Amino acid sequence: MSVKLLLNKIQVPGIRSYEVYRREGGYQSVEKALKMQPADIVEEVKKSGLRGRGGAGFPTGLKWSFIAKPEGVPRHLVCNADESEPGTFKDRYLMEFIPHILIEGMISASYALGSNASYIYIRGEYDWVSDILEAAITEAKQNGWLGKNIQGSGFDCEIYVHRGAGAYICGEETALIESLEGKRGNPRIKPPFPAVKGAWERPTVVNNVETLAAVVPIINMSGDEYAKIGVGKSTGTKLISACGNINKPGIYEIDMTISVEEFIYSDEYCGGIPNGKKLKACIPGGSSVPILPANLLLTTAKGEKRMMNYESLSDGGFATGSMMGSGGFIVLDEDQCIVRNTYTLARFYRHESCGQCSPCREGTGWMEKILKNIDTGKAAMSDIDLLWNIQRKIEGNTICPLGDAAAWPVAAAIRHFRDEFEWHVLNPEKCLKENYGLAHYADPVHVPV
């Protein structure tokens, strides 16, 4: 059985309430943190090796150490709960069923960073989750964990929930900050970075829900002990949102020492593929990371078993690897059509582009149109090369990573499954009817899960 640090109490009846959460050991990390120096907490997070769980995987303690500390200028901690990556739903699970672990982690992080006013920016569609968080914050404040002079420590802290309006782009930290300030959610040019000029031009740290929740076990068990879990630079545990063609979709907490094969086929995790179908491909880290065919998914370019961690999933770069990303693990069986799935993703990214950068604004729309033509048998062979060239012009040429997120799935699909694209071009009379065994979805805007 794998180690569980975030979900070990998730099945306790009533764990959503403060009373039960506190009885089960909740807020002990805050009690410990408030007796430490803020710099010592940052050092513990550094020792833990915790990497950002939102997608980028940047070392959290290092990110915290970058925050500017000008005298007399407030600082802010912002929790990125704008979980909009198709195939990813782990943060919702934490917030909905054990919200106090996020609040507990945020209090300790706020103390470490010197933030007296911290914010949870939550996806607009998570309306009921927002209510759960508001209720949990009220409970925490009523019991002395928020407000003035927390537990007699002299530290003041308030946490506010800010609801987004349904824009995927606001998952990018600077667009999130713009939206938090009441502006249109367009990404900012960096530098300056949020650690220097963030919310209201004040030093700001933006961390994902899972990242901040992980602060709780790190303080409770120490950074050194946390770092002993996992392997290499993939320390601690990771939440995985598993979906697609698997017998047991859901949220799994892994310690990143298991193989991809074990994760897909073992009864402890995904339980294999329904109806005895063969594994065709997988998107291992949310819709923005490159898709991998079965042979490269299970084995690295070096012939080793591919493991469920940051280093192993990215082994070989995008030619033979992918990314851990947000942990949105989407499995596709042998009947799935790569062209249709890629078109579905292209529609999403075209719709969610903020339009600020012309390569993304124009390129995502262009890719969507070409993919639609290929999918419906109305394309020429040259369109596949055109599609490849367009994604190359988008990648690396935009203010924020949404352009890359739109380009990578297209590039990987052509790189690994060009034969399917060519089949659609060569069989225009069949591709709509047979569509490589893929039935039409009622709403193709959304990734099939």
Domain range summary for the chain, segments of one domain joined by +: 18-226, 231-333, 338-437
Residue 448 has pLDDT above 50, yes or no: no
Per-residue confidence (pLDDT) for residue 433, from 0 to 100: 61
Task: Confirm if 310 and 400 have CB atoms less than 8 A apart.
Answer: no
Residue that the structure tokens 């506190």 belong to: 22
User: Is residue 429 very low, low, confident or very high in pLDDT (cuts 50, 70, 90)?
Assistant: confident
Per-residue confidence (pLDDT) for residue 56, from 0 to 100: 81
pLDDT, tens digit, 9 for 90 and up, residues 223-263: 999 999 999 999 999 999 999 999 999 999 999 999 999 99
User: Is residue 283 very low, low, confident or very high in pLDDT (cuts 50, 70, 90)?
Assistant: very high
Per-residue confidence (pLDDT) for residue 203, from 0 to 100: 97
Per-residue confidence (pLDDT) for residue 159, from 0 to 100: 98
Residue 444 has pLDDT above 50, yes or no: no
Residue 430 has pLDDT above 80, yes or no: no
User: Is residue 439 very low, low, confident or very high in pLDDT (cuts 50, 70, 90)?
Assistant: very low
b/e per residue, 1-11, with b = 16+ CB within 10 A?
eebebbbebbe
Average pLDDT over residues 68-95: 95
Residue 435 has pLDDT above 70, yes or no: no
Q: How far apart are CA 61 and CA 49, in angstroms?
A: 8
Residue 316 has pLDDT above 90, yes or no: no
pLDDT, tens digit, 9 for 90 and up, residues 189-224: 999 999 999 999 999 999 999 999 999 999 999 999
Average pLDDT over residues 19-42: 96
User: Is residue 432 very low, low, confident or very high in pLDDT (cuts 50, 70, 90)?
Assistant: low
Task: Confirm if 230 and 236 have CB atoms less than 8 A apart.
Answer: yes
Residue 441 has pLDDT above 50, yes or no: no
pLDDT, tens digit, 9 for 90 and up, residues 40-53: 999 999 999 999 99
Dihedral angle over CA of 378, 384, 389, 393, nearest 10: 60
Cα–Cα nearest to 76, from 176, 202, 215, 216: 202
Task: Confirm if 395 and 445 have CB atoms less than 8 A apart.
Answer: no
Per-residue confidence (pLDDT) for residue 446, from 0 to 100: 29
Per-residue confidence (pLDDT) for residue 442, from 0 to 100: 31
Q: Looking at the domain 18-226, which fold is it?
A: Rossmann fold (3.40.50)
Per-residue confidence (pLDDT) for residue 300, from 0 to 100: 85
Instruction: Using alpha carbons only, give the angle 217, 158, 80 rounded to the nearest 5 degrees.
Output: 60
pLDDT, tens digit, 9 for 90 and up, residues 320-329: 889 998 999 9
Per-residue confidence (pLDDT) for residue 89, from 0 to 100: 95
Task: Confirm if 273 and 244 have CB atoms less than 8 A apart.
Answer: no
User: Is residue 129 very low, low, confident or very high in pLDDT (cuts 50, 70, 90)?
Assistant: very high
pLDDT, tens digit, 9 for 90 and up, residues 59-76: 999 999 999 999 999 999
pLDDT, tens digit, 9 for 90 and up, residues 389-398: 999 999 999 9
Residue 428 has pLDDT above 90, yes or no: no
Residue 436 has pLDDT above 60, yes or no: no
CATH, range 231-333: 3.10.20.600
Average pLDDT over residues 151-165: 95
Q: Looking at the domain 338-437, which fold is it?
A: de novo design (two linked rop proteins) (1.20.1440)
Q: How far apart are CA 208 and CA 53, in angstroms?
A: 6
Average pLDDT over residues 96-115: 97
Residue that the structure tokens 């019991």 belong to: 143
Q: Name the percent of the chain lying above pLDDT 70.
A: 96
Residue 437 has pLDDT above 80, yes or no: no
Per-residue confidence (pLDDT) for residue 1, from 0 to 100: 53
Per-residue confidence (pLDDT) for residue 370, from 0 to 100: 96
Residue 445 has pLDDT above 80, yes or no: no
Residue 424 has pLDDT above 60, yes or no: yes
pLDDT mean across residues, the chain: 92
Per-residue confidence (pLDDT) for residue 434, from 0 to 100: 52
| DSSP assignment of 321-374 | ----TT-EEEEEETT--HHHHHHHHHHHHHHH--S-SHHHHHHHHHHHHHHHHH
User: Is residue 408 very low, low, confident or very high in pLDDT (cuts 50, 70, 90)?
Assistant: very high
Contacts within 8 Å (CB) and 24+ apart, 375-380: 375/339, 375/340, 375/343, 375/424, 375/431, 375/435, 376/431, 376/432, 377/424, 377/425, 377/427, 377/428, 377/429, 377/430, 377/431, 377/432, 378/428, 379/424, 379/425, 380/425
